[in-house]
Structure 1
Amino acid sequence: MKKLSSRFFLIIATSVLLLSCTTSKKILHSAVTISSIKFLNAYEIPYNMQYKNTTVGGLSGIDYDAGENVYYFICDDRSDIDAARFYTARIVLNNYKIDSLVFTGVHNLLQSNGLAYPNKKQNKLQVTDPEAMRYNPKTKTLVWSSEGERIVMPGDTVLINPSVTNMQTNCKFINSFQLPANMHMQAVEKGPRRNGVFEGLAYADNYKTLYVSVEEPLYEDGPRAEVVDNNALIRINKFNTATKKAVAQYAYKLDAVAYEAKPSNAFKVNGISDIMSLGNNKLLVIERSYSTGRLPCTIKVFIANLNAATDVTGITLTNNKNFIPVNKTLLLNMDSLGIYTDNIEGVTYGPVLPNGKKSLLFIADNNFNPLEKAQLLLFEIIE
């Protein structure tokens, strides 16, 4: 989801001497218990920064390969500025702070035919809208999601289904996941909404499961979130990574939009911007709320427990009480930190800290907008 609204030194190099190299080699596969998260530091990537003839921005997803100490950042540029792409980087921590971010590569996302994605002027029916990315260390491959497109206007209808794609780290297409029927774009008001689809990805069950979250409610599942609680429900899809097929869907209730828009009829949104597995059928969930007239976003981090949730595959959620939604517990409302928080769209486990504690890193998508910040937020996990 692009936020609609009215940089710290960065070192670019191909190699650096990193602190905490020995501890950062460990990757978190087992279940993680989180009682709270402690804010440590905010780092800002300069606006309009150039790297290898591309503009760095729109970073809407982050993941960490601890074995190689490499971070993956997917960019949500629809090939309008540069070709749809992702970046690799290294992050240097020093004394519990982000010392520097070192970009090490940029790679174009490729279609199944091996070609880069066009922009809407080149071919409006083949445009992609990248949002999330995860690395699988078992297969040494990447999975990424696109929100697709839905434009329904007299004389101009564009329907591109959202997608979840497996590819090699060199961007060679492997295969795509098979979407449930209710995840297909339609010309009528049924199925996903424009720009409110696959924002979150999370591997689980030793990479046998992939959870894919929908940012906003499907048309048939009820209204979008408002400033008052209106029981807005989204779906979390559960896929089998071997068959690439969905095996379940779970209903998740969104919080209300945090602030009224100014004017009140202007754009506002609350939805899931990313998810991450904690093990034992639990997810870390980011809800990101934005309202026109207010630059900061309200970012809430929840622990979602799917164990008792009903599989709602084939069930319409509107005016339906015959299911159990995902149980969620608030871990942190970032408004309480007293810092500026922008359009947080990605989260990953970071390196182990010098005190032996695990860390989390959040990334904010600046939408290539000078009024917004491409932030990295570092947190310590308190178990």
Structure 2
Amino acid sequence: MRKFLILVVLQAVLFSCSNLKQTAENKPTPSLKFISSLEIPFNQTFQDTKVGGLSGIDYDAKQDLYYLICDDRSVFNDSRFYTAKIRLIENKLKSIHFQSITTLKDENGKNYGNWNTRPTTACDPEDMRYNPKTNSLVWSSEGARVVTADKEVLQNPSLNFIDLKGNFKFKAKLPANLEIQKKEKGPRNNTTLEGITFDFKYKNIYTNIEEPLFEDGDQANTSNGGLIRLYQFNVKTKKNIAQYGYQLEPIALEPNPKGAFAINGVSAIQYYGKNQLLVVERSYSTGTQACTVKVFICDLKKATNVKNYGSLKNQKFELASKKLILNMDDLGIFIDNIEGLTFGPKLANGHPSIIFISDNNFSEMQKTQVLVFELLE
């Protein structure tokens, strides 16, 4: 009888463990519920700088403070980032109040140059993240690849670690396939390091390129999506430890006129959970003012580390998995050039919030939008 009871208890424990494993593996897919939005006026200034080009956002929960990087290549004002307070009252966006402005410094402690007059000394800021463990920041620059008959600028992208005053501290060692080259190999112009996100323990940092490397295949078109790479770096060593293939969606709409500029790429990422990222794909086509913005949950668990793959073409490997959790076209509101996202404060019901921001490219025809969503898990 005792052996029977032990066997029953053992079976129960095994069954219980099996159920726990199954529950973890079958965790419900999250969804995002739109709550509120506000628009920063095109002509808004702060401390004699033009507010616009906001291409990255991150939230310091302890200080209830947001960091927003501006992608001004020192054309309107010096390359910079802002801090701001965003007021959420009864889950509604009420206001955004800028608190400070900080100029980004290069490795020599100098301001970055003006892209129009000194392009080789300029930077192209794209995203920024705050690290509460070190009370410091990391930001990405896309670099530049301009090869024309009358101009040549070959500037590598960079992941820059800085203090809160904008002073340069360290730079990540980028893999060879992120080096800008004159020949069509490596990154394309203006579609390089776009998004950044730390894991929750601040031991790893993930970043992405917006469009495929030349050697990995074609850019997305209206029939097919291209293959990009997600990069994982060790925060302590500043070295790239893994790369993962990710399949883009096709461009959402045919451009008008046909053959005009159109793009779909990953404009932002946010760490969500173990091996998981929220990935923002932003599609734009000439002739349509709004962008089509889709948010996917991406899982890297079974993805092949393609760090040592010279090309992703004609290779056998496992892509990062992805599942659509939001198509902003379904919201019934105008959506512009979404380029940043972050976890925000807890909402009144205790659910997490996710905040998105759009980059207006300093154009009067575009909008700087802040959108808040409730994360439903």
Tell me the TM-score normalized by structure 2.
0.91
Structure-2 separation of matches of 1:309 and 1:41: 35
CA distances 1:228-276 after superposition (whole Å, capped 9, x unpaired): 02x4100001100110000010000000000010111111000000001
Q: Please give the residue correspondences for 1:157-176 in structure 2 after superposition, counting only pairs within 5 Å.
A: 157-176=152-171
**Structure 1, unaligned stretches of length 5 or more?**
1-31
Q: Please give the residue correspondences for 1:106-145 in structure 2 after superposition, counting only pairs within 5 Å.
A: 106-145=101-140
Please state whether the residue corresponding to 2:74 is helix, strand or coil. Answer: coil
Confirm or deny: 8 A CA contact 1:225 1:255 kept in the other structure.
yes
- Residue in 2 that maps onto 1:276: 270
- Residue in 2 that maps onto 1:26: none
Confirm or deny: 8 A CA contact 1:203 1:210 kept in the other structure.
yes
Q: Please give the residue correspondences for 1:247-326 in structure 2 after superposition, counting only pairs within 5 Å.
A: 247-326=241-320
Q: CA RMSD in A?
A: 1.2
Structure-1 separation of matches of 2:245 and 2:116: 37
Structure-2 separation of matches of 1:147 and 1:201: 12
Structure-2 separation of matches of 1:207 and 1:351: 19
Structure-2 separation of matches of 1:34 and 1:276: 16
Q: Please give the residue correspondences for 1:1-383 in structure 2 after superposition, counting only pairs within 5 Å.
A: 35-204=30-199, 206-229=201-224, 231-383=225-377
The Cα shift of 1:313 comes to: 1.2
The Cα shift of 1:109 comes to: 0.6
Please state whether the residue corresponding to 1:284 is helix, strand or coil. Answer: strand
Structure-2 separation of matches of 1:322 and 1:314: 13
**Structure 2, unaligned stretches of length 5 or more?**
1-26
Confirm or deny: 8 A CA contact 1:48 1:368 kept in the other structure.
no
Structure-1 separation of matches of 2:286 and 2:202: 39
Structure-1 separation of matches of 2:30 and 2:127: 26
Q: Residue type of the partner of 2:180?
A: M
Please state whether the residue corresponding to 1:125 is helix, strand or coil. Answer: helix
Structure-1 separation of matches of 2:94 and 2:128: 24
Structure with the bigger RCO (C-alpha within 8 Å, sep 6+) is 1
Q: Residue type of the partner of 2:262?
A: K
Confirm or deny: 8 A CA contact 1:300 1:332 kept in the other structure.
yes
- When the two structures are aligned, how many residues end up with a matched partner? 351
Q: Residue type of the partner of 2:221?
A: E
Q: Residue type of the partner of 2:146?
A: I
Structure-2 separation of matches of 1:94 and 1:205: 27
Tell me the TM-score normalized by structure 1.
0.90
Structure-2 separation of matches of 1:345 and 1:95: 26
The Cα shift of 1:122 comes to: 3.9
Confirm or deny: 8 A CA contact 1:34 1:381 kept in the other structure.
no
Q: Residue type of the partner of 1:75?
A: C
Please state whether the residue corresponding to 1:220 is helix, strand or coil. Answer: helix
Confirm or deny: 8 A CA contact 1:233 1:317 kept in the other structure.
no
Structure with the largest fraction of helix: 2
Shift of the 213–33 alpha-carbon distance from structure 1 to 2, 3 Å rule, reads farther
The Cα shift of 1:96 comes to: 1.4
Identity across the alignment (%): 48
